[in-house]
Each structure stands twice: as structure tokens, then as C-alpha cells.
């Protein structure tokens, strides 16, 4: 996993193309992957509908959405290949590059007069300032969905960055779903003393910072330092004007505020990654004290349940799972969270010549690696784990349910999986590897020798209208 160890210590001479948001959009445009909508597309369902139709094909820009002066952008990273491109590596090095960045963070660099503070609004009305769309049919209303929530422990100065769905509940008030990870730990410490947690919400960052925000790292790691590692240079940050939180200096829009101690208000429903709605319940509340932005900013939205939403969660998790599993099992080669499995619930793991029984150990470790992992399929190296059809083929031809199936009842799963009972449900492992004692040739996959090396342009052409005459058949 130390593919990039030779680079550590020396910085890249060229920043990867994903280190600059406007540069990335130019890059997409220059390769026919940026769509410009006609002005005035509706914020309610209009933006999400167009973005979903273009999902995985083109990013989209919406000028004057619903008549609002700030344009909306969406679909910046809706393919794995685009993520690799943004990082400047081949797609098969995507996970290794992310894992390397997590292990070798680069401290940020503080700057003054940042672009993100070119315009300052201390009279906060989020509904007027932000063109926040309403995405799915039963969403409560407009949500901020691509806001990086940056929090800071007052005692150590260590920051955390994560994305949470943020319901616009009032002119200066947000409802937030904060699942039990680092932001909640920071907040719980403050709330126990009756104090609010200072935070900032950053909308419109470069693709590398966006990916870094989703890195799975320990609580004392600032994800902005992983952004630095991915760009090969310290990320420029700026101090907020009303608190000590440091935010990416080149961000489009920053909301400064506080997560309120002792306050919970209704939030939801909201269309989530499993393609179902997260329910309405009492949740955390953020008070926004100040909004700053660039002159002529852009507003990034991630459509709930779209590929950008799914893959931003999947790829950093895969990097973490691959690293964890390899630490225990040297036979693990690759992992994949499939789109059909909501990019969270179905993990495929590729193994190279596991020892007898080892495939089952890998299954058990993978099922325990994260509560979201529900079904694990292990396959051999002749099966591409990134191709769900190949994984299904391995299950169809190498798996026997009475012999190769593991079921664990009553385990902790995802609360957003509607088939569980409040997040508790069964987990399943399928061993679709070839048994070590299988007879020679029994599981050899058919192939045509030389097929992949053929130069088809030299060998065939589209059939012309007189194709029958050419072959002498009337
Ligand atoms: Mn964290």
C-alpha cells in the first residue's frame, strides 16, 4: 500500500487539476463534460431533475436558478475515473493515492485577505443569500447538501471536516443530521459544559478538498491536511471573522456559526443515499452568524441519491477498508462498494490464493469493518470486483448456499436501511472463491487466446450497402 512512499518528502511540481474548482470546471468543459443550462431553471425539483438526467455523464451549471443571481453547479465528481483524474493518477491507483494521503497529511498554510471573504453579510438571510435547491419529492424543503462542516476543538485547535445534510429552517437557522462520528464528539464535549460549538460551513470547494472531507481517518486528523496531501502542497486557509475556525481560503461561500447546546428542532424528511427518505425527527441546530463569499460566487449542490452523493461516500471508504483488510490478510487485493448496494451496503473483495478457510475470515472482518456493510462477496483475482456482472457470475458458478454462505443475525446495520429494525438486522457473507482443493481445470474460465491484443481497425469495418456482393451472395 505504500505505492507513493518514494514521493513522500518531495512535493509535486504540478498541482493536480482537481486542486482548483474553476480550473476543474474548465477541464470538464474542455473534454465535453460540462453542460450549461438555460437561465432560470426552477430550484424546486428543476435543478435536481436536470442534474440527475446528466448524472455520470456531465457536470452541470445553472445560471440564475429560480431567478437567483448566484449560479448553481452540480455533478463535479460523478465517476470514479473523474476522481482519479482530479488527483492526477490512473483509476487503478485511486484507492492507493487516497490511502497514502491519509497516512501523510500536509499541514495547511494560513493566508490573509482570502477570496472567500471578499463579500461579507452580517445581516443573514439564508433564503435570500443562497440558491439552495429542493431535490426530491418529499424533502422538507431547501437543503444545503454540499456544505463542508468544519469544527475546531477549542483546547487543541484540531479541526474536523465532514458533510452533513443541512435543512434551511429559518433566515439564520439550520437543522442538521449529525451521525455519531467526530463532529458529534466535538459537540458533545462542548454541550456537556453548556457551551456551543463554533463551526463554519463551506460551500464550493475544489474537488480534492471535497474528496478529503470524506476521508476515513482518526478523530485527531484534520481532513484539510489530507486535502494538502492530495494537492501535494499546503492548502491555503483563512481564519473565520467571528470565530477561530480555519476554512479553505478559495472557497466560494462560507457560513460562520455555532452548533447550539441544549437545542434540538425538527429536521427532515430528506432523500438519502439508499434512495429512501431519512425521517423527520428532533435534531441538532446551527445558528448562522455571518455569511462571506467570493465576488460572483457559485453554489455547489449534491443531489441526494445521485452518483456524486454515492461515490463521494464510497471511494474514501474503499480506501480505508482495503487498507484495514490488508493489514490483517495479505491475500486481499482490491475492494469495491457497488452502486446497486447504495455504495455502502455491498462490499466485494478480491483475494489472491487465500489459504484454506481464510476467505471466511476475510468475510467476518469485512462485515465488522463498518456498520453499513451488510453483504460481503469474496472472489478470486480472475474476477474484476469493479464489475458487478463479474461478481454475480462468480456467485452463480462458484458459490453453494449450503456450504459458502455465512449469516449473522441481529447485527448493527444502517439506520437508513428500511429493512432493518432501527438499524439492527442480518449480515451475510458469500464465499465465491474457488476451493483450494478444486480439480485442475474445473474452474478455468473460458477465453479466446489473443483476443484482447487484436487491432480491430485493421481487421474489420462497418458493412457497406453492397455487402452481399462483396461476399458473392446474391
Ligand atoms: Mn474526522
pLDDT at 436: 86
For ligand 1, the distance from its centroid to the CA atom of residue 15, given in whole angstroms, is 24
Whether the Cβ atoms of residue 241 and residue 256 lie closer than 8 Å to each other: yes
Q: Of the residues 307, 342, 364, which one is the last residue of a structural domain?
A: 307
- d(CA 134, CA 159) in angstroms, rounded, equals 30
Supply φ then ψ for residue 10, to 5 degrees: -100, 140
For ligand 1, the distance from its centroid to the CA atom of residue 217, given in whole angstroms, is 6
For ligand 1, the distance from its centroid to the CA atom of residue 102, given in whole angstroms, is 11
Residue 26 domain flag: yes
Which of left, alpha, beta for 384 (phi over 0: left; psi -120 to 50: alpha)? beta
Task: Give yes or no: residues 138 and 21 share one domain.
Answer: yes
Whether the Cβ atoms of residue 21 and residue 206 lie closer than 8 Å to each other: yes
Task: Give yes or no: residues 183 and 240 share one domain.
Answer: yes
Per-residue pLDDT of the chain (474 residues; tens, 9 = 90+): 334 443 433 444 467 899 999 999 999 999 999 999 999 999 999 999 999 999 999 999 999 999 999 999 999 999 999 999 999 999 999 999 999 999 999 999 999 999 999 999 999 999 999 999 999 999 999 999 999 999 999 889 999 999 999 999 999 999 999 988 999 999 999 999 999 999 999 999 999 999 999 999 999 999 999 999 999 999 999 999 999 999 999 999 999 999 999 999 999 999 999 999 999 999 999 999 999 999 999 999 999 999 999 999 999 999 999 999 999 999 999 999 999 999 999 999 999 999 999 999 999 999 999 999 999 999 999 999 999 999 999 999 999 999 999 999 999 999 999 999 999 999 999 999 999 889 999 999 999 999 999 999 999 999 999 999 999 987
Alpha-carbon dihedral of residues 95, 52, 297, 64, nearest 10 degrees?
170
pLDDT at 65: 98
Task: Give yes or no: residues 348 and 278 share one domain.
Answer: no
Residue 212 CB: number of other CB atoms within 10 A? 30
How far from chain centre, in Å, is Cα 244? Answer: 27
For ligand 1, the distance from its centroid to the CA atom of residue 29, given in whole angstroms, is 33
Whether the Cβ atoms of residue 248 and residue 227 lie closer than 8 Å to each other: yes
pLDDT at 90: 96
Residue 112 domain flag: yes
What's the CATH number where 10 sits?
Answer: 2.30.110.10
Supply φ then ψ for residue 321, to 5 degrees: -65, -40
Closest CA to 5 of 127, 136, 101: 101
For ligand 1, the distance from its centroid to the CA atom of residue 385, given in whole angstroms, is 28
Closest CA to 415 of 285, 272, 309: 272
The grid cell for 293 is 463569499
For ligand 1, the distance from its centroid to the CA atom of residue 184, given in whole angstroms, is 10
pTM: 0.92
Instruction: State the total domains in the chain.
Output: 2
pLDDT at 4: 44
For ligand 1, the distance from its centroid to the CA atom of residue 223, given in whole angstroms, is 6
Task: Give yes or no: residues 289 and 378 share one domain.
Answer: no
Supply φ then ψ for residue 135, to 5 degrees: -95, -65
For ligand 1, the distance from its centroid to the CA atom of residue 213, given in whole angstroms, is 8
What's the CATH number where 399 sits?
Answer: 3.40.1670.10
pLDDT at 154: 85
Buried b (16+ CB within 10 A) or exposed e, 224-250: bbbbbbbbbebbbbbbbebbebbbbbb
Task: Give yes or no: residues 285 and 354 share one domain.
Answer: no
Task: Give yes or no: residues 28 and 162 share one domain.
Answer: yes
pLDDT at 3: 41
Residue 442 domain flag: no
Task: Give yes or no: residues 255 and 392 share one domain.
Answer: no
Closest CA to 231 of 10, 450, 18: 18
For ligand 1, the distance from its centroid to the CA atom of residue 216, given in whole angstroms, is 7
Task: Give yes or no: residues 299 and 359 share one domain.
Answer: no
pLDDT at 9: 39
Listing DSSP states for 58-100 in one string gives: -EEEESSGGG-SS-EEE-TT-SHHHHHHHHTS-GGGHHHHHHH
Whether the Cβ atoms of residue 104 and residue 8 lie closer than 8 Å to each other: yes
Q: Which domain holds residue 399?
A: 329-431
- d(CA 147, CA 238) in angstroms, rounded, equals 17
Q: Which residues, by Cβ under 5 Å, contact ligand 1, an ion?
A: 160, 182
Amino acid at each position: 500500500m505504500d505505492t507513493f512512499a518514494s514521493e513522500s518528502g518531495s512535493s509535486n511540481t504540478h498541482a493536480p487539476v482537481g486542486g482548483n474548482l474553476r480550473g476543474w470546471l474548465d477541464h470538464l468543459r474542455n473534454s465535453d463534460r460540462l453542460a450549461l443550462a438555460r437561465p432560470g431553471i426552477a430550484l424546486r425539483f428543476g435543478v435536481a431533475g436536470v442534474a440527475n438526467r446528466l448524472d455520470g455523464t456531465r457536470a452541470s451549471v445553472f445560471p440564475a436558478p429560480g431567478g437567483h443571481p448566484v449560479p448553481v453547479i452540480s455533478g463535479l465528481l460523478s465517476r470514479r475515473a473523474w476522481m482519479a483524474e482530479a488527483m492526477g493518477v490512473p483509476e487503478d491507483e485511486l484507492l492507493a493515492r487516497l490511502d497514502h494521503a491519509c497516512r501523510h497529511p500536509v499541514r495547511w498554510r494560513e493566508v490573509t485577505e482570502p477570496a472567500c471573504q471578499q463579500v461579507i453579510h452580517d445581516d443573514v438571510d439564508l433564503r435570500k443569500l443562497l440558491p439552495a435547491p429542493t431535490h426530491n419529492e418529499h424533502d422538507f424543503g431547501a437543503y444545503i447538501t454540499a456544505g463542508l462542516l468544519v469544527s475546531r476543538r477549542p483546547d487543541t485547535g484540531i479541526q474536523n471536516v465532514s458533510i452533513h445534510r443541512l435543512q434551511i429552517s429559518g433566515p439564520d437557522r439550520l437543522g442538521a443530521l449529525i451521525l455519531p462520528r467526530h463532529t458529534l464528539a466535538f459537540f458533545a464535549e462542548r454541550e456537556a459544559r453548556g457551551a456551543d460549538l463554533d463551526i463554519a460551513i463551506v460551500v464550493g470547494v475544489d474537488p480534492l478538498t471535497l474528496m478529503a472531507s470524506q476521508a476515513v481517518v482518526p478523530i485527531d486528523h484534520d481532513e484539510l491536511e489530507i486535502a494538502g496531501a492530495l494537492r501535494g502542497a499546503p492548502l491555503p486557509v483563512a481564519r473565520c471573522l467571528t470565530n477561530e475556525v480555519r476554512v479553505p481560503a478559495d472557497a466560494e461561500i462560507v457560513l460562520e456559526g455555532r452548533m447550539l447546546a441544549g437545542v434540538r428542532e425538527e429536521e427532515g424528511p430528506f432523500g438519502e443515499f439508499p434512495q429512501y427518505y431519512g425521517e423527520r425527527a428532533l435534531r441538532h441546530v446551527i445558528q448562522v452568524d455571518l455569511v462571506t463569499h467570493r465576488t460572483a460566487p457559485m453554489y455547489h449542490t449534491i443531489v441526494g441519491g445521485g452518483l456524486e452523493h454515492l461515490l463521494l461516500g464510497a471511494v474514501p471508504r474503499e480506501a480505508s477498508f482495503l487498507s484495514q483488510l490488508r493489514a490483517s490478510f495479505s491475500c486481499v487485493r482490491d475492494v469495491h462498494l457497488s452502486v446497486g448496494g447504495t455504495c455502502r451496503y455491498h462490499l466485494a473483495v478480491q483475494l489472491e490464493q487465500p489459504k484454506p478457510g481464510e476467505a471466511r475470515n476475510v468475510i467476518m472482518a469485512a462485515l465488522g469493518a463498518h456498520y453499513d456493510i451488510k453483504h460481503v462477496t469474496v472472489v478470486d483475482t480472475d474476477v474484476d470486483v469493479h464489475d458487478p456482472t463479474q461478481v454475480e457470475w462468480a456467485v452463480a458458478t462458484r458459490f453453494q448456499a449450503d456450504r459458502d454462505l455465512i449469516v449473522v443475525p441481529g447485527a448493527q446495520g444502517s439506520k437508513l436501511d428500511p429493512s432493518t429494525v432501527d438499524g439492527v438486522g442480518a449480515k451475510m457473507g458469500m464465499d465465491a472463491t474457488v476451493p483450494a482443493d478444486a480439480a485442475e481445470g474445473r474452474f478455468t474460465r473460458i477465453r479466446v487466446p489473443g483476443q484482447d491484443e487484436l487491432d480491430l481497425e485493421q481487421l474489420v469495418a462497418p458493412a457497406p450497402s453492397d455487402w452481399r456482393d462483396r461476399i458473392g451472395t446474391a
